[in-house]
Structure formats: C-alpha cells, structure tokens
Structure 1
Amino acid sequence: MPVTRPERDAMRRAFALARRGPRGINPQVGAVILSPAGEIIAEGWHRGAGTPHAEVDALSQLSADQVRGTTVVVTLEPCNHTGRTGPCALALIEAGVARVVFSAEDPGVHSGGGAARLRAAGVDVAAGVLAEEGVALIDDWLVSVRLGRPFITVKWAQSLDGRAAASDGTSQWITGPAARADVHERRADADAILVGTGTVLADDPALTARRPDGTLYEHQPVPVVLGTRAVPEDAAIRRHPHSPLFHDTLDGAIAELRERGIQRLFVEGGPTVASAVIQAGLADEVLAYIAPVLIGGDRLALTDIGVATLADAPRLRIASVEKLGDDLLVIARPTTGRSDASAPPAARAPYDEGRSTTDTKGS
C-alpha cells in the first residue's frame, strides 16, 4: 500500500514529538496514531531510559477498541527486544494495529528486526518514509550503534586564515560571544568532553557547559583528559560536577567511554588532540568556528593529520553554515555516511539498556 499524504504529515509531526525527548544513550523517537480515516488520535514520544517507548506511550492513550485497525507512524523501526521495556513490535501486534509506517531502520543487533516481526504477524509495514530526515534526527545514535563507540564531534575556533592562536599563544577570544554561547550549548548536548593535558596545564579550563549568565546547564559533559603529564590537584577541572577521567591514549579513552555508555563525545582540546582524532579517522562531525580576523604565523588550527599528498586528504561535505554574530560556524561531516545501511552493525546494548587551547581558556 503506497504511503499517503496524511501519513507523511504524521511523520513530520512525529519528528517534532521526538525532539521533545532527551538526547542520550537512547534515540529520540516520536509516534503518531492515525484513525482509519487518517486523523491523528494519539501522540507519544520516548522520555528516556526505562520509560515507555514512543509507540507504547501513544498506545496508552487509547482504549483497546480505539487502537484496533489504526495506523502507527513512528520515526524509528519498532524495536524487537525485551530490555527494561518489552518489544514495541509485539505491543503493536497485540494491540491489533493494521499498519505501521516508520522512517529510520533500527540497526541494533538485539533491537532490530521489528519490521519483519510485524509483517510475519500480518501487519502492513511501510519502511523508509522521509528516511533522510529520520536518519538525520538520530544520526549520532545510529553511528554509535554501528561503530560501537561514541559519536565524535571535533570543534575548533580559527581566524579567517586558519590560525588557532597568535604567535605568543594568545587565543582569547578569536570568536565573539555568540559563537562561544553556541559552543556551551553544544557542550550541554554532549555526554563527554575531551581535551589534552596541554590545554589543562596552559588554560586551567573548567570544561563545564554554562549559559551566558554563567549558570550551569542542567546536563554537564563528563570531562576527559588525554595525556601523560600530571594534572594539579587544584585544577579547575577537578571541581567539575563529574569526576574527570584521565587517559594516556586515545584508544583507552574511547574504550572507557564506550563501556560507560557515552553516546556523544565533544573534542575541544586544541590542535594536537583535534589532529590526532582526525588522523585516526574518528571524527564524525567537524565544527569550525571562523572569525573575520587575520593572524598569520604558524599556529594552525590543525597540525599534521597524515596527509602527504592532496589525494590523501579526507573530503568532507558541508552539512550547514550558520552566522553567529560576526562569526561563521561551518559544520562538516565525512562524505561517506557512517550510518548508512551498508555499515556493519556493532554488537552493543540496544536502545533502553541504560547508561588545546582553541578559545577554551578559562572555559
């Protein structure tokens, strides 16, 4: 059965509902239930680990008679796994829904396969509706599930000519207040923030996520320090709401974050750390804050990333360009999608299973 216009409209509504849910170890998911006449009769979204999934949240608002024969429109393929909650695919089958329309496929080893289970039970299923938008909504979660590690964002601030600091090392402030406020909002969206010991020793950053008035956001990223040098006991990072993690190697840091269920890692550690992450092929997203200032010199935003010839240079696609005051934010991602269907799924817990100096001085 072809996808109808009311179903597409309902999917867009489901995307909006999904964004109400928290970002974290679980994906943001929204669901809308349509009557046989194509009218919205219930809505739901996932509110976090241990709470009902979006489909079940919507089903709970209707009686058994009201649900039977309806169409459920959901942003992510209904799960097929029993964790803290039961499988949504089974809940939909038992409720007697006639049709399920979903956007992004669930790549989880344990949680995927809901569509096949629904079809086997005689439920009509339409997959991949507005798939590009559905994948974009939970791209970080999809990457994390497929690669078995956090989604990694690398951020830096630079002058128009690509410098991260002046020749004397000063970098406060290359960008303006609007750009710095944006960085703190993105920190608050991350689960962990990574810097090198060089940044900690030179700038003594707090690495908290703060509003423009200085108050802390409710969600704070776990600070991670990479390097072998000792960090003073009175360093500001040791007063962070979360105890900092210390690692000598990037691989060790990523491994612990994976074990802790960290979903999104924000790398803000200066040219050395940023270059190491990029050279290792771990950057899923690059945020380049560009200020209209010329500095010159050799303090580049990136150091050696292993590019000996232009043919070896990693190519990115521009996802967006935003104007923040006088500055620009360019967001770029690898040209090969990390969340596409060709990528091998990683064997990790399914959804619901629980949980230097580049404008960073004093931050």
Structure 2
Amino acid sequence: MRPRVTLKLATSLDGRIATASGESQWITGEAARAEGHRLRASHDAILIGVGTALADDPLLTVRQPGLEHRQPVRVVLDSRQRLSPGSKLALTARESPVIVLTVQLPAPALVRAGVEVIQVHAGRDGRPSLTHVLTALRGRGLISLLVEGGGEVAASFLRCDAVDRLEWFRAPILLGAEGRPCVGTLAVEELGQARRFRRLAAEPCGDDLWERYERL
C-alpha cells in the first residue's frame, strides 16, 4: 500500500514553471493559487524536492480563509539534508509537522528544530528511493500526497508510475524552450512508453485553465 499521489502543476501554456533565470512567482493567477490551497487542504501531505525548498524557502501551508485548520504534513526529499534549520519549514516544524526523507543518518540540527528526519534506501541515482519514500509515508498514516515539484521531482514520480492524478493549471503565457520545464527527463524513446492519462475535466480558473486527469 502507498499513498494516493496527485501531481500538481502550475505552468505556462508551453509547460514551463519558470523563466531561464528561475523567476516563477507568479505564473498562474490568484484564482488558480486559491484552488492550489484547497488542494493542499484536501491532502494528508504535500511534497517538494530540496531544490524548490532552497530556491523558494516556502511554508507549504494552507492560507485560504476557512481552511487554516486543514494543514498537510510537509515533506521534503533531501538526499544530503541541505534544508537549513533556519528555513521557514524548519522554523515552523513544531507548529505543523515537517518530514525530511534522506539517504543519510538524521542531522542533529534538523532534529533539534523539530523536523522528523527519516533515512530511506537510495535509488540508483543516489537519491531517496521513491518506493521506500512512499512506504515510509504510508507507515506514518498518510493516505494522500500532493506533489508540487519541481520538474525533477515530478519526473521521478512519473518514471516510477506513481502518479494517480494530475491537477494542471495553465496560464495564458508562453515562456519558450529556455524556460524551465514542469517535467524533467522521462527517458521516453517511443510513444508506447509514454505515461497516459484520461482527462476528467477542463474549466476556466480566472484567466487560467484548470485541467484534471487520472491515470489509465
């Protein structure tokens, strides 16, 4: 058993999550961001990679009025425990749980900050094995997981066929090939190897388009 995984993407029309320089706030509009907070509130946990944690220093909390009591467990994939004890996540770990999944022994500074550090087996790339990551999270009683990025994390979940749903917000802008893609390398050489999904809905969300898919 593993948690049900939803991959949330907020992109340009051409599937970019940031400019070449890394600027990403805000690609989608206020209505899409509000729906993103509702998605957070409807999941047991929210997951990002340490690259996103270092670049954005996010809180990953629900800040939609009326939903503040629905705070997901915040999860970071962090092979070498680069998350700073002074980050917003670590500084608020005693208020709302934070889990760091690593391939190393727990760093004392993060543990002292109140972060739960879980050592899991490494995959072939030296990063936490997603099979063991999902098993560990399910063992903590987490049934639903919202994956918010970035592109390499999204690709890793897709490569291991662990994405059950897509929640995709597309802004009416184009960033071009130099922009940062929402999904990293999938090693697809033939169309038959492509990950396939069935569209459940597509509707306007402010100026953006909100598409929902489920795996086939």
Scaled by the length of structure 2, the TM-score of the pair is: 0.82
- Which residue of structure 2 lines up, in the alignment, with residue 122 of structure 1? none
- 2: CA distance between counterparts of 1:173 and 1:309? 34
1:87-236 correspondence runs (5 A): 148-211=1-64, 217-229=68-80, 230-236=82-88
- 2: CA distance between counterparts of 1:245 and 1:287? 23
- 1: CA distance between counterparts of 2:140 and 2:192? 37
**2:145 aligned with 1:291:** no
- 1: CA distance between counterparts of 2:37 and 2:97? 19
- Which residue of structure 1 lines up, in the alignment, with residue 202 of structure 2? 321
CA-CA distance at 1:306 after TM superposition: 2.5
- 1: CA distance between counterparts of 2:75 and 2:133? 8
Larger Rg: 1
> CA offsets, 1:228-276, max 9 Å, x none?
2321111111214323111131233211111112111000121010110
Cα RMSD of the aligned pairs, angstroms, is 1.4
CA-CA distance at 1:227 after TM superposition: 2.1
**Structure 1 unaligned spans of 5+:** 1-147, 336-363
- 2: CA distance between counterparts of 1:175 and 1:182? 11
Between structures 1 and 2, the one with greater helix share: 1
Identity %: 41
Structure 1 segments (4+ residues) deviating >4 Å? none
**Structure 2 unaligned spans of 5+:** 103-127
SS of the counterpart of 1:277?
Answer: helix
SS of the counterpart of 2:156?
Answer: helix
SS of the counterpart of 1:181?
Answer: helix
1:60-99 correspondence runs (5 A): none
- Whether contact under 8 Å (1:166, 1:297) holds in the other structure is no
SS of the counterpart of 1:319?
Answer: strand
- Which residue of structure 2 lines up, in the alignment, with residue 333 of structure 1? 214
**2:99 aligned with 1:245:** yes
- Whether contact under 8 Å (2:38, 2:67) holds in the other structure is no
Quick one: which amino acid aligns to residue 156 of structure 1? L
Between structures 1 and 2, the one with greater strand share: 2
- Whether contact under 8 Å (2:40, 2:46) holds in the other structure is yes
Scaled by the length of structure 1, the TM-score of the pair is: 0.50
Which residue of 255, 259, 262 corresponds with 2:142? 262
- Which residue of structure 2 lines up, in the alignment, with residue 92 of structure 1? none
Deviates more, 1:148-157 or 1:235-244: 235-244
